[in-house]
Amino acid sequence: MKKSKSAPMKKKSSPAKKPGMDKKVIAKPKQMAALKAKPSLKPSSKKQEQRPDSMVADGKHYDIIQMILDDHKPLKRCIEILKNLELSLSSRRAAFNEFAPLLTIHAKAEEAVLYTFEKTEVDMREEAFEGDVEHALAAQMAEEVKQTVDKDIWSAKARVLAELVEHHIEEEETEMFPELKKQANASDLIRLGEEYQSKKGEIKVDVLHPAVQKQQPVLSVRH
């Protein structure tokens, strides 16, 4: 990916808040006693249930970069399995079955929110279009893997797919995100994070439950 030398378009504000940075809150002895005396029958409070996905347990927001880094972790775990031909075919097939839908959901949400945003900024447009191309190649390769019967060809294609996505993720993390941090301010990154989370929810329904989307309402007609 090329890096632009032009000046940042937006002025940075305060840095984005990161999860897990706060001190742990330890309950005092009296609070512990109260908790033991009155055990709650409900698994979580209504307030917690309504908490937006962009907020962590302490009520702080986290941004699109942190969300995408979190999404990359299970993909990387599957990639390591798919690349390792010493592992059994069944364990690599299981990794692929986990990897493929995760990749689709992640890539589509990234395109719809992050890449769309980056295309509005002259210094990030090229990287965003490159991301689109790599996603399309990965999606095409994943389809080929699904349709491959021969186990040796399946292994070869799955490994190439894993290496392609590994390279793509590395570029995002080491080139795209540092540039994004220069170009976007903290509130942009949090707003994009909320949009990313929402988009992922919509795409999950399409990917994991396609039959629900295809079902047409049955109209009863009285004669």
Residues that bind Fe ion (CB under 5 A): 110, 131, 172
Q: ∠185-187-189 over CA atoms, to 5°?
A: 70
Rounded to the nearest whole angstrom, what is the least distance from the CB of residue 155 to Fe ion in the complex?
24
Tally of CB atoms within 10 A around 88: 8
Identify which of residues 106 and 191 has a Cβ nearer to Fe ion in the complex.
106
Distance, in Å, from the CA atom of 177 to the CA atom of 188, rounded to the nearest integer, reads 13
Rounded to the nearest whole angstrom, what is the least distance from the CB of residue 158 to Fe ion in the complex?
19
Rounded to the nearest whole angstrom, what is the least distance from the CB of residue 168 to Fe ion in the complex?
6
Rounded to the nearest whole angstrom, what is the least distance from the CB of residue 71 to Fe ion in the complex?
7
Token digits of residue 110? 């990234």
Question: What is the rounded radius of gyration, in angstroms, for the C-alpha atoms of the chain?
Answer: 22
Rounded to the nearest whole angstrom, what is the least distance from the CB of residue 17 to Fe ion in the complex?
21
Identify which of residues 131 and 193 has a Cβ nearer to Fe ion in the complex.
131
* Runs of H (alpha helix) within the chain: 29-37, 46-49, 64-83, 89-109, 116-118, 125-147, 151-171, 177-183, 186-208, 210-214
Distance, in Å, from the CA atom of 95 to the CA atom of 92, rounded to the nearest integer, reads 5
Place of tokens 């021969």: 150
Identify which of residues 34 and 136 has a Cβ nearer to Fe ion in the complex.
136
Identify which of residues 67 and 95 has a Cβ nearer to Fe ion in the complex.
67
Identify which of residues 107 and 154 has a Cβ nearer to Fe ion in the complex.
107
